[in-house]
């Protein structure tokens, strides 16, 4: 086992993972994207949410399979570097790191909601304070962050359930008719499905925490699949209310605030805005900081980065330097006033690219580690697994098309330049003998069998 990885503490149970996964999935997406999807497909938005959750399952199942067969710290990096190649693994990780500009997006969006309730609140100060609070919570231990996450997720779910309970009696089911369903045709409907996949995904990040989970072989796939399905069902109820209480024209391309204000008394509306919208962002930010460092920590042990960068604190069992790095990555857009649209678009676009690489790695698992694959608590027949992977890759390409069509040329050019720089770094470092990076890596070189088996 790598010296730094051995300092991580196996403290996360199923409840902790459920809290982290739900907190990661439920973010700004459902608040902001539901209205946009209504504009695309009218009252077909409920079916769009259901189908997007099914599509998301195709994206997360390959990660769940790898997490069950070989649970490990920094799963997304380790799977690509061990199952594909070390160079591809670090290239993926470089893209992954750039995508974490979205850390700032959650903090800035939270501050914007605060300003909606308290117009005089300073946006930068609120966003920076929130980021700092969760940085400290994760710095003193992943268990502390998980406890904070579970408390916030309980409040978040309660706020969303209140929205559903108050809204369902107000639903006008007559809007679910031939005229209002699919007004944009099947093209508009499937565009909405692709868009909403951004709101239903996220549970796969649990694979990053394999080294800190008490029963990872069972809990990683169980958490990924159940939270994806459960949140998808909740979203479908919320979408039904969003489209069937007020006239469709009044809610198309609008956030959920107008509907919430209509169906709820003022105290509950405020609770929904704080516990729902604001906590959705806060839980995603906190969850991200709990897992985001793990890939770079393992890459440091592999020689791609200075080993000192991945050092784990002896007292708290957390990689403090890497946490500080991502804290700085999140703080830069906040303090410089970088456009929220640029941050979110760039982060999401890069996410789609590295996700294709990670998902594809699952096709190599049955042949490269057949024994571990057969012993995995959760697995699929290899042919079925390959089919799921190729469907997932096609869906990711579809989402990428939807996103890229809305990006500016500058963002696309900047992303391309970063990717070229990553390719150059990978080849320079990977081909230089002094860094000691092997052409082939194996899980067993730094993980005893009893550590990575379920």
Answer whether residue 389 shows pLDDT above 90.
yes
Residue 28: pLDDT band by 50, 70, 90 thresholds? low
The interaxial angle of helices 294-302 and 75-83, nearest 10 deg, is 40
Among the residue ranges 48-52, 299-303, 412-416, the one predicted with the least confidence is: 412-416
Answer whether residue 450 shows pLDDT above 50.
no
94-123 mean pLDDT: 85
Residue 220: pLDDT band by 50, 70, 90 thresholds? very high
Give domain 12-452's CATH number out of 1.10.3720.10, 1.20.1740.10, 3.40.190.10, 3.30.1390.10. 1.20.1740.10
Q: What are phi and psi of 393, to 5 degrees?
A: -65, -40
CA gap 45, 192 in Å, rounded:
7
Q: What is the pLDDT of residue 440?
A: 67
| DSSP 8-state code for residue 371 | H
Side-chain half-sphere exposure of 73, counting CA atoms within 13 A: 30
Spatial CB neighbours of 169, under 8 Å, sequence gap ≥ 6: none
CB 96 within 8 A of CB 295: yes
CA gap 226, 258 in Å, rounded:
31
CA gap 445, 222 in Å, rounded:
28
Answer whether residue 292 shows pLDDT above 70.
yes
Answer whether residue 332 shows pLDDT above 50.
yes
Q: What is the pLDDT of residue 323?
A: 93
- Cα distances (Å, whole numbers) of residue 159 to 75, 164, 199, 245: 32, 9, 17, 18
CB 101 within 8 A of CB 343: yes
Nearest to 152 by CA among 245, 308, 12, 277: 277
Q: What are phi and psi of 213, to 5 degrees?
A: -105, 135
401-430 mean pLDDT: 82
Which value, to the nearest 10 degrees, does the dihedral of the CA atoms of residues 136, 140, 143, 144 take? -50
Q: What is the pLDDT of residue 170?
A: 92
pLDDT digits (tens, 9 = 90+) for 338-380: 766 666 666 666 777 888 999 999 999 999 999 999 999 999 9
CA gap 156, 166 in Å, rounded:
16
Spatial CB neighbours of 168, under 8 Å, sequence gap ≥ 6: 237, 240, 241
pLDDT digits (tens, 9 = 90+) for 230-254: 999 999 999 999 999 999 888 888 8
CB 129 within 8 A of CB 148: no
Q: What is the pLDDT of residue 1?
A: 43
Place of tokens 């974490």: 100
Q: What is the pLDDT of residue 85?
A: 92
Place of tokens 């080993």: 307
CA gap 328, 104 in Å, rounded:
10
CA gap 45, 53 in Å, rounded:
12
- 67's tokens: 């997490």
Whole-number mean pLDDT of the chain?
A: 86
- Residue 42, classed as helix, strand or coil, is strand
CA gap 376, 443 in Å, rounded:
15
- Residue 439, classed as helix, strand or coil, is coil
Neighbour tally for 436: CB within 10 Å:
8
- 392's tokens: 């997932």
Spatial CB neighbours of 445, under 8 Å, sequence gap ≥ 6: none
Greater confidence, 392 or 8?
A: 392
Helix (H) or strand (E) holding 368: helix 365-368
Residue 452: pLDDT band by 50, 70, 90 thresholds? very low
30-34, 95-99, 127-131, 280-284: range with highest mean pLDDT: 127-131
Q: What is the pLDDT of residue 406?
A: 63
Q: What is the pLDDT of residue 449?
A: 42
- Cα distances (Å, whole numbers) of residue 274 to 57, 193, 231: 29, 27, 19
Q: What is the pTM of this model?
A: 0.84
Residue 185: pLDDT band by 50, 70, 90 thresholds? confident
Q: What is the pLDDT of residue 104?
A: 84
Q: What is the DSSP string of 198-252?
A: HHH--GGGGGGBGGGBSSHHHHHHHHHHHHHHHHHHHHHHHHHHHHHSS-HHHHT
Q: What are phi and psi of 73, to 5 degrees?
A: -70, 140
Greater confidence, 452 or 331?
A: 331
| Bridge partner list, 209 | 73
Q: What is the DSSP string of 148-205?
A: HHHHHHHHHHHHHHHHHHHHGGG--GGGSSTTTBSTTHHHHHHHHHHHHHHHH--GGG
Nearest to 361 by CA among 97, 88, 54, 96: 88
């Amino acid at each position: 086992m790598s010296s730094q990885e051995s300092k991580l503490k196996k403290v996360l149970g199923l409840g902790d993972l459920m809290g982290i996964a739900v907190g990661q999935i439920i973010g700004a997406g459902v608040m902001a994207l539901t209205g946009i999807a209504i504009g695309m497909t009218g009252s077909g938005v409920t079916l769009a949410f259901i189908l997007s959750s099914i599509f998301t399952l195709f994206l997360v199942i390959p990660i769940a399979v790898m997490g069950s067969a070989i649970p490990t710290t920094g799963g997304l990096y380790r799977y690509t570097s061990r199952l594909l190649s070390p160079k591809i693994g670090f290239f993926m990780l470089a893209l992954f790191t750039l995508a974490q500009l979205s850390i700032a997006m959650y903090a800035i969006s939270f501050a914007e909601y605060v300003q909606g309730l308290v117009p005089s609140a300073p946006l930068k100060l609120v966003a920076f304070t929130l980021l700092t609070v969760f940085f400290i919570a994760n710095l003193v231990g992943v268990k502390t962050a998980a406890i904070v996450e579970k408390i916030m997720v309980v409040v978040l779910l309660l706020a969303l359930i209140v929205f559903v309970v108050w809204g369902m009696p107000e639903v006008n089911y007559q809007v679910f008719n031939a005229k209002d369903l699919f007004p944009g045709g099947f093209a508009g409907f499937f565009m909405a499905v692709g868009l909403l996949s951004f709101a239903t995904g996220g549970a796969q990040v649990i694979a990053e925490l394999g080294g800190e989970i008490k029963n990872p072989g069972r809990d990683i796939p169980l958490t990924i699949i159940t939270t994806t399905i459960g949140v998808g069902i909740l979203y479908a109820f919320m979408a039904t209310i969003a489209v069937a209480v007020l006239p469709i024209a009044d809610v198309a391309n609008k956030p959920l605030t107008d509907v919430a204000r209509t169906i709820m008394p003022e105290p509950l509306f405020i609770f929904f805005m704080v516990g729902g919208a604001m906590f959705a962002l806060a839980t995603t930010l906190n969850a991200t900081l709990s897992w985001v460092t793990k890939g770079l920590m393992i890459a440091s042990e592999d020689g791609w980065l200075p080993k000192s960068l991945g050092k784990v604190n002896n007292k708290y069992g957390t990689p403090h330097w890497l946490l500080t790095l991502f804290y700085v990555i999140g703080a830069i857009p906040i303090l410089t006033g970088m456009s929220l649209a640029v941050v979110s678009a760039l982060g999401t676009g890069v996410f789609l690219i590295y996700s294709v690489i990670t998902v594809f790695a699952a096709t190599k698992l049955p042949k490269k580690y057949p024994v571990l694959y057969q012993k995995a608590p959760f697995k699929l027949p290899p042919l079925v697994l390959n089919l799921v992977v190729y469907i997932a890759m096609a869906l990711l390409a579809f989402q990428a098309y939807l996103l890229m069509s809305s990006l500016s040329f500058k963002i696309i050019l900047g992303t391309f330049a970063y990717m070229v720089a990553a390719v150059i770094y990978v080849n320079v470092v990977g081909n230089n003998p002094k860094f000691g990076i092997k052409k082939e890596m194996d899980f067993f070189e730094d993980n005893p069998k009893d550590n990575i088996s379920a």
